[in-house]
Structure 1
């Protein structure tokens, strides 16, 4: 009886040791609702003021680099989760402990892009940022949106607003 359990444990151990880096899916600490490329560091996000359950809540993770903030192809990655009216809660993987900015929008039509309207291209879908900076006549600065992720399982709340 001990031999089969021992062989199973050995096979599992060897499999983990020889698997290519990045393919390990067994995450002992991570919440099952985490989105984004898997890592050992994540942040729990509550998106508050979600108008309805249509579409997706889309999170964009930016590095602490002002040249990459809110520019095309500047993000580390974009990930989405189904919207829930009122509050949408999810877990977002980050590559490693560090300082990041997170932009959120409610993609009500699930188009994969933020809809814009009007003369100035103002978003027509609800948006929000980490640290909930005041948004007035333009996007917030990177500095006002930075959040330090020092360890797994930290939590933040981001309020979304439709303009």
Structure 2
């Protein structure tokens, strides 16, 4: 009886260790020496439809939101109300842009006048009333211990998840 209980405990602990490794392996980027985990926690996701795309930008102002400017991107299945994404990064400064690709077309959808029809978010939750935020307003740092970064998804029209 004790032997079976001990074997069951070892099996459960082994499964948990494998599961933890799998989660760490799901992080995008290079987990080599000096890298730490940046976990982006996207709150306010309205639906589990589609994907949430989390894009990480380096500490270079001209690359922020520019075509080809990203450092890394994670596309993860949307989960409401919170979706998480993970990156391996070196300690330093970065910026994050997020959108809810509700229809899964890998494109950030806008209406005929250019207004977003899918949810979006930026690190530091900068104002976006009059256009895109600046790099400085979205810039954050990751220390030697890694970081969990909360961001808040915004939808311009409540319940509008595109088509």
Cα 1:30–1:63 shift into 2, 3 Å: farther
1:145 and 2:141 equivalent?
no
- Of Structure 1 and Structure 2, the greater helix share is in 2
1:55 and 2:47 equivalent?
no
What TM-score does the superposition give when structure 1 sets the normalisation length? 0.75
* Structure 2 residue aligned with 1:92: 87
Count of residue pairs the alignment pairs up: 134
Gaps of 5+ in 1: 1-27
For 2:26 and 2:145, the matched residues in 1 are separated by: 12
- Of Structure 1 and Structure 2, the greater strand share is in 1
* Structure 1 residue aligned with 2:155: 162
Instruction: Give the match's secondary structure for 2:94.
Output: strand
Q: Is the 8 A contact 1:34 1:91 kept in 2?
A: yes
Instruction: Give the match's secondary structure for 1:110.
Output: coil
For 2:22 and 2:149, the matched residues in 1 are separated by: 16
Instruction: Give the match's secondary structure for 2:93.
Output: strand
* Structure 1 residue aligned with 2:6: none
The alpha-carbon deviation at position 42 of structure 1 amounts to 1.7
Q: Is the 8 A contact 1:35 1:80 kept in 2?
A: no
